[in-house]
Structure 1
Amino acid sequence: MHRRRFLAAGAAAASVGLAGCRSLFQTRSARSPPLVSDRPDAVYVPSHVEGMAMVGTAAAGDFRVALTYSYPHRFWLVSGDSTEKVEIEGSDSLHLMTTVWDPETDTVLPHGSLTTTITRDGERLTSGKPLWPMLSQNMGVHAGDNLELDGDGTYEVEVSVPPLPTRRAGALGGRFGELGTASFTLEFSQSALEEISYERLPDRQGERDALDPMSMDMMPVSATPAPGDLPGTVVGEGSSGDARFVVSRLASPPDGVSAGDSTATPADGPDDDRPYLAVSMRTPYNGYPIPQASLSATVTRDGTTAFDGSLTPTVHPDLGYHYGAVADVQSGDDLTIAVDGVPQIARHEGYETAFMSFDELSMTVGE
């Protein structure tokens, strides 16, 4: 595996999570606790929970970016229908993380192309290093990696945020189309890293449940609206691959959406006269959006296909991150949702066995 190496640092900011100092033994144990045995093919409580330290937030054009870090830890990359575990290496010093959001609506924007450039004392140490898009139970959607550190000291870090490749709709339309760069100064100390909270979970590990999301004043955590808060009419719900699916029908597509954005069997009439089908694919328990999947839908009415096509990843401040299309869908129709490609987002422990195999979901569209 190609392992991205990175000179990184931390900050003398307060850590988030359980308080208290930890011994060197506990700190080292946090780097490689035993995996839960007999892990279910579903979301489960991991072997331990870690806090994290907030470095700060900064503007990057239209984007807002937070930089945080925690202990190095294992995670899993997804390639096609399989996963590959990234082990902690002896030279790894920390796990650096970024979260990107819209500062006007606090909508977290899943982004798979963030890069970092690091300088120290005027010398560029690394340039354009990418971070993996990831999903974790306490942090939700973010980007990060285990990174090698060059000792205590001061580092300048630039986080580059390319134009958002996901379709934007509603109040997000027409924005996030240009490159933005956020700048941070990191004051690293090993002692501050070792004070970040860490707790083993022997009584809960392996349970069909999840850790609670972190609560932070300086940045939002990715989330999806509760079914009752979704725009339009919720016409069906279901579960597959341990993911939850909530399907909403809007009377017309939101601003920024047209039928030409997806490959489909179209209906007659202008785009703005046809309904919009929005499928929210989310984690159980915490309701995080699950990005980087491929979804399609088929709508049949009296034995005739009214819609058959892909659902486009879309982010909207009220619908959240979802998969949607302009579709001729009416009450009483038969609707089938298929996951044609499993989510390619990397996963922290507790998510690596879920969202890997899906059955089609069939439902009758409600009123």
Structure 2
Amino acid sequence: MYRRTFLATSALGATALAGCGSIESRSIDVPTVVSERPAGSYVPGHIEGMARVGSVTAGPYELVVTYSYPHRFWMVTGTDTERVPLEEADSTHLMATVRDRETGLVVPEVGLSMAITREGSLASQETIYAMLSQTMGLHHGANFSGLEDGREYDLAVTVGTPTVRLTGAFRDRFTDPVTETLSYSFDERAMAELRLDRLNRAGERGALEPMGGAVAGARAPEQATVSGRTATTRAGDVRYLVALRDESPPGIDSGPYLAVIPHTRYNRIRLSRMGLSARFTTGGGPIETQLTRTFDPELGYHYGTALSADPAGESISLLAETPPQVARHEGYETAFFDLPTASVQL
């Protein structure tokens, strides 16, 4: 179902690539994986467009559901990756982005599932995975099969509660799982009109620009907007925004608070589900502490800890012990592994 035909007939189609590549004027299958992939973020072999199914309010959440062509993607377990191939029966790739209604921040580390029914009968169901995409941002997604062209379906989305530490007003906001249902019309003609462009820069180091609105609420803030003593550093394709504040967020032990926001080198998309620790020296000697994955109304998703002493003037080393445990779209499946230690001084 994912075979598509393209014809580059207009300057508009070429301009839409913004210098990233070119459309091939012939019938093609989804392009093969780039043969020589660098050990890091790279330009994939193609761009796939997406379109909106709809959005709905569900308790404290805003859910936005989109669709695209079926995707191959890579699951990550520890430091191992496993490619999930395209199957001939795949109908579409459905994605859901979960945001907090009040702040607009993408809510991290929630269990999410989708069930597609028609006239009360189950047509397709998946537990969908947290995913990272250069163009589609941080979302949950999976390929779904068994859908019939031209049929109307009910799409039920269930969102669990966050599994990270919650601080401030978030402590009492995300207390119960919620389920909401959207109407979904599976239309192969509409899907065939989605953008699917081959790129002549495939395999180059870098990343594609996100589609409009895809990374809203998922970007790391600019350093100048974060309070406290701040600094930035980089390790491979990960950038770290580091802040040392006099006080911890509400709900955490009092004292100086170290907050670290890892994000992608390109496009500043926050990186979740990492194992991250910090090492530094104070007057009491060397300290190494695990940073806790935390969701805060002001800092957003970050890794943080309360400190017993202020490491003012000392070098802080950041150690990525576990790479982001999120599935990857093409171009990110080789990135964020084997990261070197990064250092910063506040």
TM exceeds 0.5? Answer: yes
CA distance in 2, matches of 1:351, 1:336: 25
**Aligned letter for 1:309?**
T
What does residue 95 of structure 2 align with?
97
**Aligned letter for 1:222?**
A
2:165 corresponds to which of 154, 158, 167: 167
What does residue 228 of structure 1 align with?
224
What does residue 68 of structure 1 align with?
66
What does the per-residue CA deviation read over 1:78-129, in whole Å, with 9 as the maximum and x for residues that have no partner? 11111111111111111110000011111011234101122101223355x3
Indicate conservation of the 8 Å contact 1:139/1:221, yes or no: no
CA distance in 1, matches of 2:284, 2:329: 43
The residue matched to 2:298 in structure 1 has which SS?
A: coil
What does the per-residue CA deviation read over 1:51-99, in whole Å, with 9 as the maximum and x for residues that have no partner? 1010111122111111111011211111111111111111111111000
**Aligned letter for 2:70?**
P
With 157-166 and 237-246 compared, the bigger mean Cα shift is at 237-246
Indicate conservation of the 8 Å contact 1:166/1:313, yes or no: yes
Indicate conservation of the 8 Å contact 1:231/1:319, yes or no: no
Q: Once the 2 structures are TM-superposed, how far is the Cα of residue 39 of structure 1 from its aligned partner? A: 1.4
Indicate conservation of the 8 Å contact 2:238/2:263, yes or no: yes
The residue matched to 2:172 in structure 1 has which SS?
A: coil
What does residue 291 of structure 1 align with?
272
Q: Once the 2 structures are TM-superposed, how far is the Cα of residue 362 of structure 1 from its aligned partner? A: 2.8
Q: In the superposition, relative to structure 1, how do residues 25 and 93 fare at CA in structure 2: closer, same or farther (>3 Å)?
A: farther
In structure 2, runs of 5+ residues without a counterpart are 1-14, 18-22
1:331 paired to 2:300: no
1:321 corresponds to which of 269, 279, 301: 301
**Aligned letter for 2:266?**
Y
1:198 paired to 2:179: no
1:37 paired to 2:18: no
The residue matched to 1:228 in structure 2 has which SS?
A: helix
1:239 paired to 2:219: no
TM-score by length of 2: 0.88
What does the per-residue CA deviation read over 1:269-300, in whole Å, with 9 as the maximum and x for residues that have no partner? xx32x111001110011100110111111221
1:207 corresponds to which of 193, 204, 207: 204
Indicate conservation of the 8 Å contact 2:257/2:305, yes or no: yes
With 244-253 and 164-173 compared, the bigger mean Cα shift is at 164-173
**Aligned letter for 1:99?**
T
The residue matched to 1:108 in structure 2 has which SS?
A: coil
- Give aligned pairs, total: 325
CA distance in 1, matches of 2:156, 2:220: 29
Q: Once the 2 structures are TM-superposed, how far is the Cα of residue 38 of structure 1 from its aligned partner? A: 2.1
The residue matched to 2:183 in structure 1 has which SS?
A: strand
What does residue 140 of structure 2 align with?
143
In structure 1, runs of 5+ residues without a counterpart are 1-16, 259-270
What does residue 116 of structure 2 align with?
118
The residue matched to 2:66 in structure 1 has which SS?
A: strand
Q: In the superposition, relative to structure 1, how do residues 23 and 301 fare at CA in structure 2: closer, same or farther (>3 Å)?
A: closer
What does residue 268 of structure 1 align with?
none
What does residue 259 of structure 2 align with?
278
What does the per-residue CA deviation read over 1:177-217, in whole Å, with 9 as the maximum and x for residues that have no partner? 21111211101111111111111111x22222211112149
Q: Percent identity?
A: 39
The residue matched to 2:190 in structure 1 has which SS?
A: helix
CA distance in 2, matches of 1:63, 1:173: 14
The residue matched to 1:107 in structure 2 has which SS?
A: coil
What does residue 184 of structure 2 align with?
186
CA distance in 2, matches of 1:336, 1:281: 13
1:248 corresponds to which of 228, 243, 251: 243
What does residue 132 of structure 1 align with?
129
Q: Once the 2 structures are TM-superposed, how far is the Cα of residue 144 of structure 1 from its aligned partner? A: 0.4
What does residue 266 of structure 1 align with?
none
Runs of 4+ in 1 over 3 A off after TM superposition: 22-26
**Aligned letter for 1:348?**
H
TM-score by length of 1: 0.83
With 281-290 and 107-116 compared, the bigger mean Cα shift is at 107-116
CA distance in 2, matches of 1:53, 1:322: 30
Indicate conservation of the 8 Å contact 2:318/2:341, yes or no: yes
